[in-house]
Chain A
Amino acid sequence: ETGVTQTPRHLVMGMTNKKSLKCEQHLGHNAMYWYKQSAKKPLELMFVYNFKEQTENNSVPSRFSPECPNSSHLFLHLHTLQPEDSALYLCASSQRSGGGPGELFFGEGSRLTVL
């Protein structure tokens, strides 16, 4: 079982659809993240949750709505997306206390295509 699991791995949706991406971490970490990876661009941090509380929203459009019901689960709800939102969405977790480098552990990503 991998440390961070993302579902679905691939998603195709129309601009009027509503869908959700799910992320689950089995590492006992206290922070979870959503990143967007588009072609030829650096990873863009979207949201950060620390102990289930959202601590960062990196100017993300409201058509992306995160939800963190507990420290192990993170969702990204998608509504009326645009074709330019097509990208790889990566979830990550880390331990943000207790010393150590606090490296991020990533899932395999959800490849989203918006038609």
Chain B
Amino acid sequence: AQKITQTQPGMFVQEKEAVTLDCTYDTSDPSYGLFWYKQPSSGEMIFLIYQGSYDQQNATEGRYSLNFQKARKSANLVISASQLGDSAMYFCAMREAGSGGSQGNLIFGKGTKLSVKP
């Protein structure tokens, strides 16, 4: 079974509008972390935002916010006031707790391609 599901292969948004990229996850571990990365055409994966499973408030970083709904196991990324430079692939990822108290490894979804229209 997939651990991370991103159901939107591609999304379009008008410049200056807000857009939500969906991500659902599957874990039985009570301690986990959720990440969003952006990958422009250059190839580099850029870290955007992090949400811990015990965090009480939704994470925000500038124009990025994470809509964390724990009971629904969803961690959607909201980008406000879209810019042309936001056009890229966006990946949701999860880290479960590893064995022996160490950090587990990141597991990535298949990604969503966001295109911002002028």
Which A residues fall within an 8 A CB radius of B? 33, 40-43, 45, 48, 56, 88, 90, 92, 96, 101-109, 111
| A42–B109 CB distance below 8 A | yes
Chain B minimum-CB-distance residue to A50? B102
Among B91, B106, B110, find the residue whose CB has the most chain A CB atoms closer than 10 A. Answer: B106
Size bracket, chain B contacts: 20 to 34
Name the prevailing secondary structure of the A interface residues: loop
**Total residue contacts A-B, CB cutoff 8 A:** 49
Name the prevailing secondary structure of the B interface residues: strand
Query: 8 Å CB contacts to A: which residues of B48-92?
Result: 50, 52, 91
| B44–A109 CB distance below 8 A | yes
| A103–B47 CB distance below 8 A | yes
A95 and B52 CA atoms in complex are apart in Å by 16
Q: Which residues of B contact A103 (CB under 8 A)?
A: 35, 47, 50
Residue from B4, B33, B46, B111 within 8 A of A101 (CB atoms): B33
Which B residues fall within an 8 A CB radius of A? 4, 33, 35, 37, 42-47, 50, 52, 91, 95, 102-103, 105-111
Residue from A45, A101, A106 within 8 A of B44 (CB atoms): A106
In the complex, how many angstroms separate the beta carbon of A97 from the nearest chain B beta carbon?
A: 8
Question: What are 16 A-B interface contacts by the 8 Å CB criterion?
Answer: A33-B105, A42-B107, A45-B106, A92-B45, A96-B102, A101-B33, A101-B50, A102-B33, A103-B35, A104-B35, A105-B47, A106-B44, A107-B44, A108-B43, A108-B44, A109-B44
